[in-house]
Structure 1
Amino acid sequence: MPEITIPRTGAHLRRLFEILLANPEGLQAREALKQLAASVQLTPYEAGLYESTGTPRFEKIVRFATIDCVKAGWLVKNKGIWSVTHAGQQAYKDFFDPEAFYREAIRLYREWRVGAPTKPQVEGLEEFDSAESAKAEASITYERADEQAWDEIETHLRAMPPYEMQDLVAGLLKGLGYHIAWVSPPGKDGGIDIIAHTDPLGTQPPRIKVQVKGGNQKIDLPTLNSFLAVVDSGDVGLYVSVGGFTKDAEDTARKQTGRKVTLINAERLVELWIEAYPKLDQKSRQRLPLSPIYFLTPED
């Protein structure tokens, strides 16, 4: 009897979805897998390691299965964060039986693979053909590398001292072509950390007012409103928060009409940093030094 079966893996997937559904904004992959492993009784086979790579079997089994869920449109993976889509929530409700749940994900994956020959569904996942397994291996390797890279970048940003973070954002704006008029020195800043302009003399509107927050804390609506109070009608407000923003804060920023405000979380900050990287000065680059590493991209 195969050590990895569709019913058994389906049970793991449904439990994974249960964990993720309890975290609507998503959960880090490593934390989701940790909670999953702690909530099920692993078989001796699942608890072991793959001898060739030293990879925990349970983690690899689950990651392999989530590929089907992603292609089925049930699961989203972004920067190491896993979250269930509306379609995934519906599938969780519609397919209570673990085997049926996973078989439907497999069916949708094969449907997604336009032109791929339809194969009978097998009982043991180890019986998948070598080409399909190789693609899954490449996808998992890429996924882990992406998660590790993002985790290291995010940890670096969260640990950065406040005034170092201010300088990083000022350097970024300069690299994007803006002119830095003022960066707050240590002490009270009146709710503004950076003032920038679109021209060297600051004679052309708009004036850009920036607030910068590091750490893990999400910016809530009252905190955002305090910033908006110092953004005049002719200004543009930028709020940079490594910890992100609450939904109320995001909704309020989106609905602003009289005052323009843009929220920048850690992910967007890094995207802008990569975009501006060739134009950053050496001192700025040293605050968040990045190097590209190229992988053969898995099949999309």
Structure 2
Amino acid sequence: MNSFVGDKMINKFRLKVAYKENKITIDVDENITFKMLSVIINEKLLLNKCKFYEFIYNDQIIDSVNRKEDIVLKNCLELEQELIYHTGLKSNPYFIKIIVWDYVIDTDDAVIKKFMKLVKEMDQEKPKQICYLNKAQRKFIDIVLKDCYDSLENLSFGGEYHYRILKKGNDYLFVTLIYYMLDDKYEIYLYDSMDDLNDKLYSYLITFYDTNRAYFKGYQGSNRNIFVLYKNDETIIPSEFENIYNAINRITHMFNSIDSDYLFSGHDKCLVYDFANDKYWIE
């Protein structure tokens, strides 16, 4: 990894760790051993009495409690790697997933000043985001987007799922929901018809990230981790305000009111939900 010559810098790995319903993010020095990483993860997950451990990548054990030599993280880890970490009892271990999410650089003031100067120069050249909604409309949209994200965070699933939403028996909205474990990112695609869904011609794409991002196309309100794209590359226009507001409300209500066994019954199935009478079934 790169460093600034003459400036103090510490390189770290940012790891996303998932165990059952628990998801944590930790920053660890690239020079620590896997044994030390085991201790850190166990403490974070309250598994600190476990002595057995092994780290697996591509079905190969890269380090374990039985290894005599110390294996250092920077000699094995690369960005976007997915590792399996076993700890607990060897005969019945805990199954923990680790993703090498990012590199983190801790620096002194001299490096920060160099970086901020570069950012300032770039900021002067970047395009500005356009927003056509008024203040009241943005407030309403931001609230329902945050409610939808909170609902997704309370659910446990992975992959792609499809939904057909009805109003009094008539088609109202078609939805595709995708969760990307590697990015810890949710995507909700809204379609006007089943044909549009099959052809991937969405009306809206709503993306929920776990950390703040910056975009200059589409809509991004006060929730800096949520991004709404209208018709491929446009922001939300005033005439679409009511449509998107109601659609997000219906979807959030569906997530909150329907059992997960139905919401995530299968990647090749479709949940049909009529919000007028709260009836739903699988087709």
TM range (shorter): under 0.3
Hey, which of these two has a bigger chunk of helix by percent? Answer: 1
TM-score (norm 1): 0.25
Hey, which of these two has a bigger chunk of strand by percent? Answer: 2
TM-score (norm 2): 0.26
